[in-house]
């Protein structure tokens, strides 16, 4: 029997989940809207808001899961990677909670958890599988051999795919986080309206910083000829940018599938909520005879459900950490 309380506070969402014998019975996500005023996450504000949100989020999770504090057998928390001030709130809370109830602590790597979110619902992937992890801070192709036996076989050399979405949105004067808004406008636009230079990067790696600059120059040039260019063509611009990002991601994912001779393919991380990416992957499944795994929306962007399921796997192995544990802004994969 195991009831695990999980805390996620690596960036700007305070999330608390409960895993009851391998099933997620609560997944509370308190979004921080304050950052919209600044066009990006302000670390100092994020940690302050985590501090305000964490106890109400825990109380709500206990209510949702119909359990009491005394029913909890272990506390799992995100140790890193992430914003140090944000992580500190979650880690300190988890340590205090575990100390007060005299229960074990489980340390979880945020990037492992994004991938292990695939073990929340059915169908679950079979090992080994390849996972394209695309978030605001990471873009990786991971060879997943077992729950905690993972190898990064390709990654971005500069910006992440989520940053490419968010920075493009900023150029287009859309509010933060721009990814979901680009997705929304893209659904009404022509993906082939504009073409952007595709980065030429070796192996299974990615680069998005030049791509972002090429979008900036393209928009500036168009605006010189027509100051209303963005407003008049927003849907087509979003659709074309999104299409290009998906093409860049898919090219390397296909290459990895051939190199590793693997047809079990998953996506994870915030950008895996993108409707264009999800549809493209479904089409690939038919075209290339892949078995694809796409997480439910609530488990794509940052959430404690994924920390809880990763914590559950560690609980089964009795893989605990001591009270001396501290957060890590950068954490070894």
Measure the CA–CA gap between 121 and 300, rounded to whole angstroms.
Answer: 13
The tokens for 53 are: 């949100």
Measure the CA–CA gap between 145 and 149, rounded to whole angstroms.
Answer: 5
Contact assessment for residue 190 and residue 246, using Cβ atoms and an 8 Å cutoff: no
Pick 104 or 162: Cβ nearer ligand KG4: 162
Contact assessment for residue 105 and residue 98, using Cβ atoms and an 8 Å cutoff: yes
Q: Is 228 annotated as a binding residue?
A: no
117 binds ligand KG4 (CB under 6 A): no
62 binds ligand KG4 (CB under 6 A): no
Q: Is 166 annotated as a binding residue?
A: yes
Q: Is 138 annotated as a binding residue?
A: no
User: Minimum Å distance from CB 139 to ligand KG4?
Assistant: 10
Closest residue to ligand KG4 using C-beta atoms: 270
Of the candidates 90, 168, 136, the residue with the CA atom closest to the CA atom of residue 269: 136
Number of residues that bind Zn ion (CB under 5 A): 2
**Judged by CB under 6 A, which of 74, 83, 271, 304 binds ligand KG4?**
271
Contact assessment for residue 259 and residue 108, using Cβ atoms and an 8 Å cutoff: no
303 binds Zn ion (CB under 5 A): no
User: Minimum Å distance from CB 168 to ligand KG4?
Assistant: 10
311 binds ligand KG4 (CB under 6 A): no
Q: How many CA atoms lie within 13 A of 30 on its CB side?
A: 22
Measure the CA–CA gap between 189 and 193, rounded to whole angstroms.
Answer: 8
139 binds Zn ion (CB under 5 A): no
Binding residues for substrate: 133-137, 166, 179, 183, 274
Q: Which residue positions form the known binding site?
A: 110, 114, 133-137, 166, 179, 183, 274, 302
């Amino acid at each position: 029997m195991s009831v695990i309380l999980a805390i996620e506070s690596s960036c700007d969402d305070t999330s608390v989940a409960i895993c009851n014998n391998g099933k997620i019975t609560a997944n509370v996500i308190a979004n921080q809207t304050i950052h919209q005023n600044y066009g990006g996450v302000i670390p100092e504000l994020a940690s302050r808001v985590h501090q305000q949100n964490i106890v109400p989020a825990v109380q709500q999770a206990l209510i949702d899961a119909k359990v009491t504090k005394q029913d909890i057998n272990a506390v799992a928390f995100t140790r890193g990677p992430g914003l140090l001030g944000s992580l500190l709130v979650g880690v300190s809370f988890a340590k205090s909670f575990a100390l007060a109830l005299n229960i074990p602590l489980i340390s979880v790597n945020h990037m492992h958890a994004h991938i292990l979110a695939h073990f929340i619902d059915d169908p679950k992937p079979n090992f080994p599988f390849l996972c394209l992890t695309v978030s605001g801070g990471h873009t990786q192709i991971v060879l997943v051999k077992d729950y905690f036996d993972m190898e990064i076989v390709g990654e971005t050399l500069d910006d992440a795919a989520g940053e490419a979405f968010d920075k493009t949105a900023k150029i287009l004067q859309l509010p933060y986080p721009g990814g979901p808004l680009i997705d929304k406008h893209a659904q009404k636009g022509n993906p082939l309206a504009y073409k952007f230079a595709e980065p030429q990067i070796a192996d299974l790696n990615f680069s998005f910083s030049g791509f972002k600059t090429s979008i900036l120059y393209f928009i500036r040039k168009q605006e010189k000829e027509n100051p209303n260019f963005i407003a008049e063509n927003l849907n087509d611009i979003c659709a074309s940018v999104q299409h290009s990002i998906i093409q860049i991601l898919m090219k390397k994912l296909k290459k990895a599938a051939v190199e590793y001779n693997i047809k079990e393919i998953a996506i994870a991380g915030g950008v895996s909520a993108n409707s264009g990416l999800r549809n493209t992957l479904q089409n690939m499944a038919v075209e290339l005879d892949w078995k694809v795994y796409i997480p439910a929306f609530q488990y794509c962007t940052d959430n404690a459900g994924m920390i809880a399921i990763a914590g559950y796997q560690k609980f089964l192995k009795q893989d605990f950490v001591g009270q001396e544990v501290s957060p890590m802004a950068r954490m070894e994969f």
